[in-house]
Structure 1
Amino acid sequence: MLRQPLESKTVTISRVHSTVTYPANFIFIAAMNPCPCGYFGSNDHYCTCSEKQIKAYKNRVSGPILDRFDILLTLQAVNLKGHDFKGIDSSEDIKKRVASARENQYNRYGKEICNGTVPFEQLIQSSPLTPKQQYDLQQVSSKQGLSNRVQIKIIRLARTIADIKGEVLISDEDLKEAMFLRKLAPPTHFSLTGEANKPLYR
């Protein structure tokens, strides 16, 4: 039921006598435990789940829904006792960076529209990937079986990371960070290098 509003930003309700479509542009945030008992990966508790149980639990979220998430994160529990919070940005500092990134996007596209919703053709025309970046993304996508939707989301996310940093173009590090935020980054021994290949988006 979520797939249509996530894709089209509208929701259609059909009844016997009529069908009505409403706007439904929203931010979708979801959370789940790492396993049925909730302690997989914990440093303080023992996980009682089998590998089969964990896999079945994660498979309850369908691939098409996961494809429609921009960011996928795995979080670890934090012990707040004795935490000094040094080096952590304040909400005000983060707010300023976000506002600046949005302003950059408005100026780039000539209207109040962001990287997440601008037509992909317009985004890639204003911020093209280099041949090397296209090849790197293709290599990761081939190895991990990424859909075109996920690849486009990675590019959109990399463009936003570049905007937050105040960069004009998408750097290799921006693309790599976007992969990490989709839980799709290659392992540490993998280097974002390669020969040029055909562009992904042509």
Structure 2
Amino acid sequence: MKPVNKAALLKTLEDRVEEHISETIALFQNRSNADLNNPSATGGWSIAQCLDHLNSYGDFYLPHIGKSLSGSDDVNVSEFTSSWFGAYFTKMMDPETGKRKYKAMKGHIPASDLDAAKVVGEFLRQQELLMSYLRAARKKDLNKIKIPISISKLIRLRLGDVFQFLIAHNERHMQQAKRNLVSEKTS
């Protein structure tokens, strides 16, 4: 893979996370429990289920990221190079490049009746934490820090790949959640 400028990559990822925070506040935060738990008109997940699914991934990845960041030395590295595996996972999850649908992994399938306000609040908390980790990563080597993946703790991806995968996955399900708002208007 071709090296990219680390600062530019982190800025792009920060912008996406900021957009997810803003959209969640504007579109979901003040909706009723019933609205947020309303199943998709196409039979898919409700808004709350989409966010709860993302929270389950945050529950796995964010502690690993935090521990790895705090346990690594500050360095002056200006480039990041995705691994083949990391780039593949990110491309698979990114809604622009990964058009195929995937079944949620065991442990990441949301319940159907959720405390929606709690789910939205937790999603916002996790996004703020992710933002702080992206900022902390400016002083770290995104190539050297390795994070286990949720499907196998034996496989470890570079921190830069984990950030890209996690945020692409968030984008995928934010788009899914927002489609519920569109279908709500046409009902």
TM-score of the aligned structures, taking structure 2 as reference length: 0.27
Greater C-alpha radius of gyration? 1
More RCO (CA 8 Å, sep 6+): 2
TM-score of the aligned structures, taking structure 1 as reference length: 0.25
